[in-house]
Amino acid sequence: MVTGSDKPVAAYRPCVGVMLINPRGGVFVGNRRDTAGNAWQMPQGGIDPGERPLEAARRELWEETGVRRARILAESRDWHRYDFPPGLAGRLWDGRFRGQIQKWVVMAFDGTDREINLTAHEPEFDRWRWVAFDALPTLAVPFKRATYRALVSEFGHLAGGFEHADSR
C-alpha cells in the first residue's frame, strides 16, 4: 500500500481497479483470456491522461464487462501497488513499468447478469463468475494476492450485499 499521496509513484503504471458487488454480496471476477489456465481477477485498467480515477473506473468497468448500471459505494483509502514478476515486466508496455499502482473503487451492480457482456469492447476475459469476498486472494495470480487481501480487509464490511437500486 502507498499512503499519504493522491499521486501515483513513478515507474508504476497508474490504474484503477473495480470491485463490482451484486446484491447478494458476490464479487465479479473474470478469467484473463491472454493467460493459460486460470487467471481470475477483478476489472482493472490504466488511467488515461487527464482522467480521474472514478471516471477511469466507470470506463474500465464498461470496457471489460459491458456494465453501465453500477453505483459507487466506496473508494480505497490508499493506492495499492504490486510489481510484475521478472519475466513479465519486460514484455508489458515495452518494459516502461515495473508494476502497477491502483486506486480501487467498489461499485454496486444494479443490473442483471444478462447485461454482462465480455465483448462490449476489446475482450479481456473469456468467462466470468460471482465469488465470495474471502475467495478473492486465493483466485488471484500470486503477484496480486497481497493487494486482494488488503481489499478484502478494507471492504469486508460490504460482503453482505446491498439493496438493489430498483427495489427501493
**pTM here?**
0.89
- Whole-number pLDDT of residue 91: 67
Fold for the domain defined by 12-160: Nucleoside Triphosphate Pyrophosphohydrolase (3.90.79)
Confidence of residue 93 (pLDDT cuts 50, 70, 90): low
Dihedral over alpha carbons 91, 101, 10, 6 (to 10 degrees): 160
Confidence of residue 6 (pLDDT cuts 50, 70, 90): low
The answer, yes or no, to whether residue 82 has pLDDT greater than 90, is yes
Q: Residue 96 contacts by C-beta under 8 Å, 6 or more apart in sequence?
A: 13
133 dihedral zone (left: phi>0; alpha: psi -120 to 50; beta):
alpha
Which pLDDT tens digit goes with each residue over 38-55?
899 999 999 999 999 999
Nearest to 28 by CA among 163, 166, 149, 133: 133
Task: Give the whole-angstrom CA distance, residue 109 versus residue 65.
Answer: 11
Q: State mean pLDDT over 17-31.
A: 97
Kindly list the domain boundaries of the chain, sorted by start residue. Answer: 12-160
